[in-house]
Amino acid sequence: MLIDLRELLSGSSQDLTKNVSLEADTFNNGLFDYPIVKKAPFDVTINKIGTNKISIKAVTDVTLSIPCDRCLTAVDTKVDLVIDEIVDFADDASEEETQIEKDYIDGYNLDADKLLFSELLVSMPGKTLCKEDCKGLCLKCGTNLNIKECGCDREVLDPRMSVFKDILNEFKEV
C-alpha cells in the first residue's frame, strides 16, 4: 500500500496518519520465504520535521511461520515492530547513499509493505525453536527425534555434522 507524501512535502499539511494493511502474505528475508500467518491494520504517523524531512512512526506486530532451527517444524512467531524512521528528501548528492537504503520511499510515495519489511529484517529472532529442548532431526535418517527415536548410531556422525550445522545456522542468521 502506497502513502502519498506530496501534501506533506509541499507544506499544505504538517502531519498525516494513515491506517494501512500489509498486502503481502509472505516475507522474504533474502534467503527464505516466511508465510505471514497473522497481521492487522496499523497506523502510520508521518510528521514533517524540516523543509524536506519527515519522521515516520508506527507500532505493530506480525506473526511469521518460521521453521524450528533444529527440526524444521513450522513455529508461529510473533514479531513486534517499532518503526521510527527519518527520511530526508533534500536533493543532495551526499545523501544519496542513505536514500538508497530506504527502498520503501518510491518517488513521493511511502510503500507501507516495504517499510514494514525493512523493520522485520532487523527484528526477526536470530533463533527459532519449537521448544527449548527440541531434539532435532536425526542427522543420519532425518527422523524427527521429538516424535520418535529411530535407533540410528549418531555418535560417529555428531562431531563432523555439528560443524556443518554451525555453518548452516550462521548462514541463516546473516
Residues that bind Zn ion (CB under 5 A): 68, 70-71, 130, 134, 138, 140-141, 143, 150, 152
Question: Shortest gap between Cβ of 66 and Zn ion (angstroms)?
Answer: 11
**Please, which residue, 49 or 152, has the CB nearer to Zn ion?**
152
**Please, which residue, 59 or 141, has the CB nearer to Zn ion?**
141
**Please, which residue, 24 or 164, has the CB nearer to Zn ion?**
164
Closest CA to 8 of 59, 52, 42, 44: 52
**Please, which residue, 56 or 71, has the CB nearer to Zn ion?**
71
Q: Are 29 and 121 in contact (CB under 8 A)?
A: yes
Q: How far apart are CA 9 and CA 77, in angstroms?
A: 37
Question: Shortest gap between Cβ of 4 and Zn ion (angstroms)?
Answer: 45
Q: Are 67 and 75 in contact (CB under 8 A)?
A: yes
Question: Shortest gap between Cβ of 142 and Zn ion (angstroms)?
Answer: 7
Angstrom CA distances, 145 to 92, 100, 114, stand at 58, 46, 38
Question: Shortest gap between Cβ of 146 and Zn ion (angstroms)?
Answer: 6
**Please, which residue, 48 or 70, has the CB nearer to Zn ion?**
70
Question: Shortest gap between Cβ of 33 and Zn ion (angstroms)?
Answer: 20
